[in-house]
């Protein structure tokens, strides 16, 4: 018997880019097949052929040995293919239950049977052991919970093929474990899964086979137990040395002081300081209040009490404009929502945070802006046909690189980075770490929020751990390890998706 799914000779071109070139791929029943590749390698494009978002220019797709034509989301659904996208696909204004059953609510006498819908949703969420209220609004949920709702929605469609495009990118340790339990359960039910991730340690843990893509072509198909270093070499075409190349410069004067910052139900009496030359990591589980802290410091959210001081002067108004003027930068966690302006070009997006510097007498110096953009595109290896490409056509990871690049160009002295390497491939991560080294060597201070524990441990000089809106402990780079960070991260709260 042949495989459940076979893709043969798939080619897809976009203006200026060959996203996929004669790609072969196969998937067996009950298999977890991992797709690996650098940012822009073509992973999302390949799975979009299965969800009906794109059609191949050449090649064919076989399901159970029969040619399949998938030209819409409905086609995919009818064939039993469900996708959890890299970008969330939920409607924020609707409830969890409404989102799960969007467009196909259980009806009675033509009227949506809300009670039945709620019940069904509750059952699904219970099957996944997720404690999310079916009546909660999506807009009130955190990223991890939204992810779980996406999966519940896919399950409710009784998918035989489940596609997950970077499902673990926004999850921390506990939630990843939970997700993998769900995946193992689905394997038992013979559901086949395509799994995309930039976390190599997940490959062997959850995968059976791996297909590696580079520049739109298949490099090889190997067992998931293949050595990391070998997988990396296949992805980037060379070996990548130092995973966390942190160099510790001299510590200078205090750049940022946060004094007793509080906001009811969100932040509780948070105080700490950040010096020139330092990378201070903020660890914690999803929902600990880390993003809220970053936003409060930057003046994006109001606080009830407390003060923020930058270079020995108090922030007076506490709004993002003042923050920027005072040399602060914020790389946001949610790149789709806050990080980028989709209809603008790569160069324009890169120039957004340094606009003032490149403007004189009301005129933007386009040449200068372009020159700087070209440098960042090269430094961060941003995959784009050119600086004038609209950013929305870039792959997820390359959009993230633009968000980081924008703040690198702004010459911020205090840089707050919220999950800076989320969705970034292994090679590019090291480039970003190198840039963090350079920035701190030049006297900047970096506050790095990250759910990636090895990254926090590997790149921070000091680690603050948050739980329930409070700082539960501070550890030096020398004393910190996985255990003591997790212990502080779960102190006084339940470590679960709730
Ligand atoms: N609609 C589009 N128009 C133009 N170019 C596109 C479009 N969609 C994708 N591309 C290009 O195709 C290539 C492959 O992109 P894809 O999103 O598949 O990468 P990826 O492997 O998923 O990367 P990442 O890890 O960053 O998510 C990239 O160069 C991207 O810019
Ligand atoms: Mg992608």
Q: How far is the CA of 198 from the centre of ligand 2 (A)?
A: 10
Residues with CB under 6 A from ligand 1: 14, 17, 19, 37, 39-45, 86, 383, 393-398, 425
Query: Span 298-320, mean pLDDT?
Result: 93
Give the pLDDT confidence score for residue 238 in this predicted structure. 78
Query: Span 441-448, mean pLDDT?
Result: 95
Give the pLDDT confidence score for residue 141 in this predicted structure. 84
Q: How far is the CA of 15 from the centre of ligand 1 (A)?
A: 12
- Tell me which residue of 417, 465, 454 sits closest to 284, measured CA to CA: 465
Is residue 494's pLDDT more than 70? no
Query: Span 86-102, mean pLDDT?
Result: 85
Give the pLDDT confidence score for residue 435 in this predicted structure. 87
Q: Which of 25, 395, 421 to mutate to test the pocket of ligand 1 (most atoms within 8 A of CB)?
A: 395
Q: How far is the CA of 196 from the centre of ligand 2 (A)?
A: 8
Give DSSP secondary structure letters for 313-336.
EE-SS--HHHHHHTTEEEE-S-II
Q: Cβ of 109: how many Cβ atoms within 10 Å?
A: 5
- Tell me which residue of 354, 452, 335 sits closest to 394, measured CA to CA: 335
| Structural domain includes residue 172 | yes
The pLDDT tens digits for 268-284 are 999 999 999 999 999 99
Specify the ligand 1 atom closest to the Cα of 166.
27
Give the residue with greater pLDDT, 192 vs 241.
Answer: 192
> For all residues of the chain together, what is the average pLDDT?
89
Give the pLDDT confidence score for residue 495 in this predicted structure. 42
Atom 2 in ligand 1: which residue has the minimum CA distance? 393
Q: State the chain's maximal CA–CA distance in angstroms.
A: 73
| End position of a domain, from candidates 236, 263, 291 | 236
pLDDT band for position 38 (cuts 50, 70, 90) = very high
Question: Is residue 215 domain-shared with residue 262, that is, in the same domain?
Answer: no
| Structural domain includes residue 301 | yes
Question: Is residue 282 domain-shared with residue 406, that is, in the same domain?
Answer: yes
Atom 16 in ligand 1: which residue has the minimum CA distance? 42
pLDDT band for position 286 (cuts 50, 70, 90) = confident
Atom 27 in ligand 1: which residue has the minimum CA distance? 396
In this structure, which ligand is nearest to the CA of 424? 1
User: How far is Cα 154 from Cα 265, in angstroms, rounded to an integer?
Assistant: 33
Question: Is residue 258 domain-shared with residue 306, that is, in the same domain?
Answer: yes
Q: Which of 15, 20, 23, 45 to mutate to test the pocket of ligand 1 (most atoms within 8 A of CB)?
A: 45
Q: Which of 10, 12, 14 to mutate to test the pocket of ligand 1 (most atoms within 8 A of CB)?
A: 14
Question: Is residue 141 a contact partner of residue 97, using CB atoms and an 8 Å limit?
Answer: no
Residue 342: CATH number of its domain: 3.40.50.300
Specify the ligand 1 atom closest to the Cα of 394.
31
Query: Span 78-98, mean pLDDT?
Result: 86
Is residue 452's pLDDT more than 80? yes
Q: How far is the CA of 341 from the centre of ligand 1 (A)?
A: 17
pLDDT band for position 468 (cuts 50, 70, 90) = very high
Cα–Cα distances in Å, from 404 out to 208, 238, 399? 34, 24, 9
CA-CA-CA-CA torsion for 379, 384, 386, 392, nearest 10 degrees?
-120
Give the pLDDT confidence score for residue 335 in this predicted structure. 62
Is residue 290's pLDDT more than 50? yes
The pLDDT tens digits for 337-346 are 667 888 899 9
User: How far is Cα 311 from Cα 444, in angstroms, rounded to an integer?
Assistant: 11
Helix (H) or strand (E) holding 210: strand 209-214
Of the listed ranges 190-204, 239-253, 376-390, the one predicted with least confidence: 239-253
Q: How far is the CA of 42 from the centre of ligand 1 (A)?
A: 6
Give the contacts of 258 (CB within 8 A, at least 6 positions apart).
270, 271, 272, 273, 297, 306, 307, 308, 309
Is residue 117's pLDDT more than 70? yes
| Structural domain includes residue 175 | yes
Question: Is residue 217 domain-shared with residue 324, that is, in the same domain?
Answer: no
The structural domain count of the chain equals: 2
| Structural domain includes residue 190 | yes
Question: Is residue 154 domain-shared with residue 292, that is, in the same domain?
Answer: no
Give the residue with greater pLDDT, 310 vs 102.
Answer: 310
Query: Span 280-302, mean pLDDT?
Result: 92
Ramachandran angles phi, psi of 436, nearest 5°: -65, -40
Q: What percent of the chain has pLDDT over 90?
A: 59
Give the contacts of 340 (CB within 8 A, at least 6 positions apart).
349, 391, 392, 399, 402, 403
Atom 3 in ligand 1: which residue has the minimum CA distance? 393
Is residue 177's pLDDT more than 90? no
- Domain range for 130 is 5-236
Is residue 462's pLDDT more than 90? yes
The pLDDT tens digits for 120-133 are 899 888 877 778 89
Question: Is residue 224 domain-shared with residue 311, that is, in the same domain?
Answer: no
Question: Is residue 439 domain-shared with residue 366, that is, in the same domain?
Answer: yes
Atom 8 in ligand 1: which residue has the minimum CA distance? 393
Give the pLDDT confidence score for residue 484 in this predicted structure. 94
In this structure, which ligand is nearest to the CA of 42? 1
pLDDT band for position 496 (cuts 50, 70, 90) = very low
| Structural domain includes residue 248 | no
Of the listed ranges 131-140, 190-199, 261-270, 489-498, the one predicted with least confidence: 489-498
Question: Is residue 296 domain-shared with residue 377, that is, in the same domain?
Answer: yes
pLDDT band for position 263 (cuts 50, 70, 90) = very high
Give the pLDDT confidence score for residue 268 in this predicted structure. 96
Q: Which of 42, 53, 390, 392 to mutate to test the pocket of ligand 1 (most atoms within 8 A of CB)?
A: 42
Is residue 498's pLDDT more than 50? no
Q: What percent of the chain has pLDDT over 70?
A: 95
Is residue 497's pLDDT more than 60? no
The pLDDT tens digits for 205-253 are 999 999 999 999 999 999 999 999 999 999 988 777 778 888 888 899 9
- Tell me which residue of 169, 252, 187 sits closest to 32, measured CA to CA: 187
| End position of a domain, from candidates 206, 236, 266 | 236
Atom 6 in ligand 1: which residue has the minimum CA distance? 393
The pLDDT tens digits for 406-417 are 888 888 899 999
User: How far is Cα 477 from Cα 167, in angstroms, rounded to an integer?
Assistant: 29
| Structural domain includes residue 494 | no
Of the listed ranges 150-154, 364-368, 490-494, the one predicted with least confidence: 490-494
Give the pLDDT confidence score for residue 279 in this predicted structure. 97
Is residue 493's pLDDT more than 60? no
User: How far is Cα 153 from Cα 100, in angstroms, rounded to an integer?
Assistant: 4
Question: Is residue 365 domain-shared with residue 266, that is, in the same domain?
Answer: yes
Give the pLDDT confidence score for residue 86 in this predicted structure. 65
Of the listed ranges 71-85, 177-191, 345-359, the one predicted with least confidence: 345-359
Question: Is residue 458 domain-shared with residue 322, that is, in the same domain?
Answer: yes
| Structural domain includes residue 135 | yes
Q: Which of 393, 397, 432 to mutate to test the pocket of ligand 1 (most atoms within 8 A of CB)?
A: 393
Question: Is residue 442 domain-shared with residue 337, that is, in the same domain?
Answer: yes
Kindly state the tokens that stand for 332.
């946001």
Give the pLDDT confidence score for residue 431 in this predicted structure. 86
| Structural domain includes residue 249 | no
Question: Is residue 181 domain-shared with residue 291, that is, in the same domain?
Answer: no
Specify the ligand 1 atom closest to the Cα of 45.
18
Q: Cβ of 41: how many Cβ atoms within 10 Å?
A: 26
Specify the ligand 1 atom closest to the Cα of 54.
1
Specify the ligand 1 atom closest to the Cα of 425.
25
| End position of a domain, from candidates 236, 267, 294 | 236
């Amino acid at each position: 018997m042949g495989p459940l799914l076979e893709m043969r000779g798939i080619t897809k071109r976009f203006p200026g880019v060959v996203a996929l070139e004669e790609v072969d791929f196969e998937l067996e029943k009950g298999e977890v097949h991992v797709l690996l590749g650098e940012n822009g390698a073509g992973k999302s494009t390949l799975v979009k052929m299965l969800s009906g978002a794109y059609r191949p220019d050449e090649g064919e797709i076989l399901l159970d040995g029969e040619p399949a034509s998938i030209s819409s989301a409905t086609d995919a659904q009818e064939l039993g293919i469900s996708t959890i996208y890299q970008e969330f696909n939920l409607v924020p204004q609707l409830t969890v239950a409404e989102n799960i059953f969007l467009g196909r609510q259980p009806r009675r006498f033509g009227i949506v049977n809300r009670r039945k819908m709620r019940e069904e949703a509750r059952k699904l969420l219970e099957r996944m052991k997720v404690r999310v209220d079916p009546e909660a609004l999506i807009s009130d949920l955190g990223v991890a919970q939204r992810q779980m709702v996406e999966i519940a929605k896919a399950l409710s469609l009784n998918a035989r093929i489940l596609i997950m495009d970077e499902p673990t990118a926004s999850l921390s340790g506990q939630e990843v474990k939970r997700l993998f339990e769900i995946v193992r359960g689905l394997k038992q039910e013979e559901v086949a899964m395509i799994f995309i991730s930039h976390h190599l340690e997940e490959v062997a843990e959850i995968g059976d086979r791996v297909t590696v893509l580079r520049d739109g072509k298949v490099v090889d198909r190997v067992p998931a137990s293949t050595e990391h270093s070998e997988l990396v070499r296949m992805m980037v075409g060379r070996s990548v040395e130092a995973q966390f190349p942190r160099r510790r410069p001299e510590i200078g004067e205090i750049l940022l002081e946060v004094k007793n910052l509080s906001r009811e139900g969100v932040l509780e009496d948070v105080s700490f300081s950040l010096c020139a030359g330092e990378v201070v990591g903020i660890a914690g589980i999803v929902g600990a209040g880390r993003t809220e802290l970053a936003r409060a410091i930057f003046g994006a959210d109001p606080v009830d009490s407390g003060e923020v001081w930058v270079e020995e002067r108090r922030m007076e108004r506490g709004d993002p404009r003042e923050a920027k003027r005072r040399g602060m930068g914020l790389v946001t966690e949610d790149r789709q929502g806050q990080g980028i302006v989709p209809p603008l070009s790569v160069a324009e997006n890169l120039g957004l945070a340094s606009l003032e510097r490149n403007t004189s007498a009301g005129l933007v110096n386009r040449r200068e802006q372009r020159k700087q953009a070209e440098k960042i595109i090269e430094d961060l290896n941003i995959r784009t046909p050119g600086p004038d490409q609209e950013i929305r056509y870039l792959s997820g990871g390359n959009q993230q690189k633009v968000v980081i690049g924008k703040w690198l160009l702004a010459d911020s002295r205090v840089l707050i980075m919220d999950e800076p390497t989320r969705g970034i491939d292994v090679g590019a991560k090291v480039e970003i770490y190198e840039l963090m080294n350079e920035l701190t060597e030049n006297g900047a201070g970096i506050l790095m929020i990250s759910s990636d524990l090895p990254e926090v441990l590997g790149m921070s000089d000091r680690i603050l751990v948050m739980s329930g809106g409070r700082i539960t402990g501070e550890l030096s780079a020398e004393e910190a390890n996985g255990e003591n960070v997790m212990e502080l991260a779960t102190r006084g709260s339940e470590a679960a998706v709730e």
